[in-house]
Amino acid sequence: MTEAHDDSDRPQRRDLFKLGGLGLVGAVAASAISAERAAAQAPRESLLRTVLNRGKLIVGTGSTNAPWHFEDERGQLTGMDIAMAKILAKGLFDDDSKVEFVRQDPAQRIPNINAGRVDIVIQFMTVNPLRAQQVAFSRPYFMEGVALLTSPRGQLKTYQELVAAGARARASVLQNADAESLVREPLPQAQVMQLDTQANVIQALDSNRVDTAVVDLSTVRWLVRRNPDRYLDAGHSYRAQIYSAAMRQGDQDWLNFVNTTWNVNMYGHITEPFDNAMKEFFGIEPRQRPTGFPPI
């Protein structure tokens, strides 16, 4: 027996093709609504309505940690966290300038969220279960890790060369309780030099006192991007951790909006702002998003 089919949606489907010259791009544009209308439709109790009615987004972030948040030569905030904030403002108001930055210490991230001083924190915040008991986290926008920074002037440039060197390999790392294991995990036999600041960890590489500096992956990407004649990525990263934005708990509409905006910018039809930021701050080239199965 031939299976019956429901044709009730076919006239609607045919109507889509009658758009003709409007096309997909035109159809998307035609569906846009103003921030004022969006505010009227947003749930009354949600921060989404508050932000839209206010006409600007308030973001908690830092100002001293390149490539995440730092001041450019004009004293303006820039960095990957700042780019993500502007992407969100663009989604809210179709204007990425409608954002106010509250500069804060990392210790203020959760208190400022829960006190309502900021709408969202975008400040290279690592996701962990303890923090997730206190705030709601967005979808991740970067996978941080530990990586090995080397020098084009050094004898050991690649991860394979560092491993093969065994006990001859020298590594600098920021002094802490986990420092020894942080080096031993990728380089079991290396000599470990623990130093008091990140700047000194990198300076040890600059002065050829070590063969590699063990630092964040984002730091490696940033330094190689800015100074390819001084620094190399040895080609190995490990201990992945998630960076996400943080918001007050209990507001699903606000959380959904943030995630939807970032999904569209990371995987949808307006990826250029996200791709440009990844290239500018980390030297990561845009990748092709395959159609078909969703990536998330």
Q: Is the pLDDT confidence value at 42 over 70?
A: no
Tens of pLDDT, residues 205-234: 999 999 999 999 999 999 999 999 999 999
Q: How far apart are CA 58 and CA 289, in angstroms?
A: 31
Q: Which residues on neighbouring strands pair with residue 195, listed in sequence order?
A: 174
Angle of helix 252-267 relative to helix 47-54, nearest 10 degrees, comes to 70
Assess if CATH 3.40.190.10 describes domain 32-143+242-282.
yes
Record the tokens describing residue 53, joined without a space: 């009615």
Q: Are the C-beta atoms of residues 27 and 19 closer than 8 Å to each other?
A: yes
- Chain-centroid distance of CA 18 in Å reads 40
Residue 56, SS3 per DSSP: coil
Fold of 144-240: D-Maltodextrin-Binding Protein; domain 2 (3.40.190)
Q: Which residue has the higher pLDDT, 272 or 25?
A: 272
Short-list 268, 283, 251, CA closest to 91: 268
Q: Which residues on neighbouring strands pair with residue 6, listed in sequence order?
A: none
Record the tokens describing residue 206, joined without a space: 């600059």
Q: How far apart are CA 90 and CA 267, in angstroms?
A: 16
Q: What pTM was computed for the model?
A: 0.84
Residue 33 pLDDT class (50, 70, 90 cuts): low
Q: Are the C-beta atoms of residues 144 and 217 closer than 8 Å to each other?
A: yes
Q: Are the C-beta atoms of residues 144 and 133 closer than 8 Å to each other?
A: no
Q: Quick one: pLDDT at residue 286?
A: 85
- Fold: same for 32-143+242-282 and 144-240: yes
Non-local CB neighbours of 225 within 8 Å, separated by 6+ positions: 67, 280, 281, 282, 283
Record the tokens describing residue 273, joined without a space: 């702002």
Q: How far apart are CA 72 and CA 172, in angstroms?
A: 28
Q: Are the C-beta atoms of residues 175 and 166 closer than 8 Å to each other?
A: no
- Parse the chain into domains and list their residue ranges: 32-143+242-282, 144-240
Q: How far apart are CA 180 and CA 164, in angstroms?
A: 19
* Residues 52-64, mean pLDDT to the nearest whole number: 97
